[in-house]
Structure 1
């Protein structure tokens, strides 16, 4: 899927088409207790948002990613913040929202999903942007919004507004945390945000229902299957692999008394 996406993006970019997106599958099973790279998670969220809001998006994905259950579309679209220069915003509320959206607080923003706070300055690296973003406050007023290079921290350009997407597919708001706690044990301290390693395996605990990528398709959207001759066999292999992993990790959990 990745190679096909690069080829398609190359040819369509020559036609001034910016609406080609890749929806990757997790490169690691959530059952391992580890989370996928933040860059990969960010790319998935950006693609889901673009599929829901962009005109005529083209999305390339794999069968494995198609079979993944996702956060509900309505939850994603209601978990988007928009801020603009000269807008009045409670700085502390913004920090809480970033934590709820799965951003990781650090001293220096270097990776997707990071954010830092230094006095009246909030740096963050959200989906949708090729650069990190610096939001400067004067009191509760947004004085400026700047793109900057996370490697050398140098400013690149000023922008008038900013769209802040979640940095994770699990939105850690109070209703979601309450629901997850009622369905099983979760690590302490989730109320402070930030998430925990391997939380993707618990996604069904946080929402009343889950969607697939088909729920994000716009009306009248078209589906094109490449190499459809082995589609069913490949799906069966993916399910068989998942069932084996599930059984193995359940056995390991029983041995550890979990």
Structure 2
């Protein structure tokens, strides 16, 4: 990888903080992927959902193990954490992330929005102790599995459709668990798990057979005899001091009695954790649009204040805000937990402490092919461009929305004598055809790299133009 000297020094462990200027999400994704490949864990923090979606697409493109689809990707994204009551679907995603972040010592990449630093989280020990490995062929009582699922917040339904739901029909147990894109079907023979399969909830048809799976909680807190007793003691202490209204305490007590684990962790555990306690200890922190992170955190802090005011007005009693979230000043210090790379704009009067790594957005066909007539002959323009880029560029990465469109393109481009690899590594050179949700493109001039989404390869002008770009012209 052709890095500037400042980046090379940082990769060698020199310096605790580095700025990157005139850059963008593609450069961050390349740099993070390179750090991961060199054996360093990475934590990427972004302001909000749009930046999260863009970088998720890029990491899907650059870090998906296409040579072995069953292999676990070395990265995981944590969705946004807006103010509100805990829900099973949101906490299913969070437990999948927390398990990924804490369950292994191998280098890994954690992508998250800055609003996740404000709320309080379950202690790390709770996460480490709250998982069950289940394998086909092993003995496990269906009733025992159902009981454990109930303790962890799963709700029994006639049919499983959403994360956190479980259903039983005869010797079959269906469950939608964190970390899986589809629900899972356990088929029992007596007290033995005979098969574990993913299935489509709409058609109920099986998809793929799994040799094993990991079951995680979906409720925001994990009930055990000890945790229930500790929570009751905590609430009584808070009620005595006036921190918790008796009406609020009654609502929480009722959740314990009914097995409803949708309780904010900060209001259940006496010593909740910050999110950074779950993240890799030796990670490099990469802050995207760093100058916006502080203001975004202030917006979210104000959002929590407004939410709690509305709750108090509607219920007639309030929840103790300081028990739910960390102070804003403390949350802002959390990204200082490790060495930092700040992707930021150069502000007048502030010193520059890193390299320029220029990146330009490529949003449409004409950003690449602007000469007269090229939009009328899109296939010819693209073929000519690929031949030129194979020589002039270090990497050209084409991203397709699905396997079908990629396969179709590869068959057509083969007739032009152009070959593209379907397996990617940050240190490789050449032309690549990969699959990801990416919708836009970018040019990394510092690295002579083009990343082009399928949408960019088609000229504007509707369906006919799109089809023209997707097939060769005769002659």
Q: Normalized against structure 1, the TM-score is what?
A: 0.84
* Corresponding residue for residue 60 of structure 2: 13
Please, which moves more after superposition, 48-57 or 136-145?
48-57
Counterpart pick for 1:47 among 97, 102, 116: 97
SS at match of 2:58: helix
Q: Deviations over 1:132-187 (max 9, x none)?
A: 11111122111111111111110112111111111122112222223333413225
Equivalent residues in 2 for 1:110-149 (5 A)?
110-149=161-200
Please, which moves more after superposition, 41-50 or 13-22?
13-22
**Cα distance in structure 2, aligned partners of 1:229 and 1:8:** 18
Decide whether aligned partners of structure 1 residues 82 and 59 sit closer, same or farther in structure 2, where only a CA change above 3 A counts: same
Counterpart pick for 1:213 among 275, 284, 301: 275
Q: Deviations over 1:176-225 (max 9, x none)?
A: 223333413225374563x16xx334x23432311121001112111122
Deviation, structure 1 residue 68: 1.4
Deviation, structure 1 residue 48: 1.3
* Corresponding residue for residue 84 of structure 2: 29
Q: Deviations over 1:75-110 (max 9, x none)?
A: 012110111112111222211110111111111111
Please, which moves more after superposition, 55-64 or 102-111?
55-64
Q: Deviations over 1:98-123 (max 9, x none)?
A: 01111111111111111011222211
RMSD: 2.5
Decide whether aligned partners of structure 1 residues 5 and 21 sit closer, same or farther in structure 2, where only a CA change above 3 A counts: farther
CA contact 2:131–2:215 (8 Å) conserved in 1: yes
Decide whether aligned partners of structure 1 residues 16 and 62 sit closer, same or farther in structure 2, where only a CA change above 3 A counts: closer
Deviation, structure 1 residue 236: 3.4
Q: Deviations over 1:38-74 (max 9, x none)?
A: 4332222111111113533322222221111111121
**Cα distance in structure 1, aligned partners of 2:148 and 2:226:** 14
Please, which moves more after superposition, 20-29 or 81-90?
20-29
Deviation, structure 1 residue 10: 2.9
1:163 aligns with 2:226: no
* Corresponding residue for residue 72 of structure 1: 123
Please, which moves more after superposition, 19-28 or 137-146?
19-28
Counterpart pick for 1:175 among 226, 240, 245: 226
Deviation, structure 1 residue 247: 4.3
Q: Normalized against structure 2, the TM-score is what?
A: 0.48
1:225 aligns with 2:291: no
Answer with 1 or 2: which has the greater Rg. Answer: 2
1:243 aligns with 2:305: yes
SS at match of 2:285: coil
**Cα distance in structure 2, aligned partners of 1:162 and 1:192:** 28
Decide whether aligned partners of structure 1 residues 238 and 9 sit closer, same or farther in structure 2, where only a CA change above 3 A counts: closer
**Cα distance in structure 2, aligned partners of 1:11 and 1:247:** 39
Deviation, structure 1 residue 241: 3.6
Deviation, structure 1 residue 251: 5.1
CA contact 1:9–1:20 (8 Å) conserved in 2: no
Gaps of 5+ in 1: none
**Cα distance in structure 1, aligned partners of 2:171 and 2:134:** 15
**Cα distance in structure 1, aligned partners of 2:274 and 2:225:** 24
1:3 aligns with 2:50: yes
CA contact 2:156–2:166 (8 Å) conserved in 1: yes
Please, which moves more after superposition, 59-68 or 49-58?
49-58
CA contact 2:95–2:217 (8 Å) conserved in 1: yes
Decide whether aligned partners of structure 1 residues 27 and 100 sit closer, same or farther in structure 2, where only a CA change above 3 A counts: same
CA contact 2:165–2:175 (8 Å) conserved in 1: yes
Please, which moves more after superposition, 103-112 or 170-179?
170-179
SS at match of 1:166: coil
CA contact 1:146–1:156 (8 Å) conserved in 2: yes
**Cα distance in structure 2, aligned partners of 1:16 and 1:22:** 13
Gaps of 5+ in 2: 1-47, 65-72, 236-248, 319-475
SS at match of 1:21: strand
**Cα distance in structure 1, aligned partners of 2:255 and 2:118:** 31
Alignment size in residue pairs? 247
Decide whether aligned partners of structure 1 residues 255 and 174 sit closer, same or farther in structure 2, where only a CA change above 3 A counts: closer
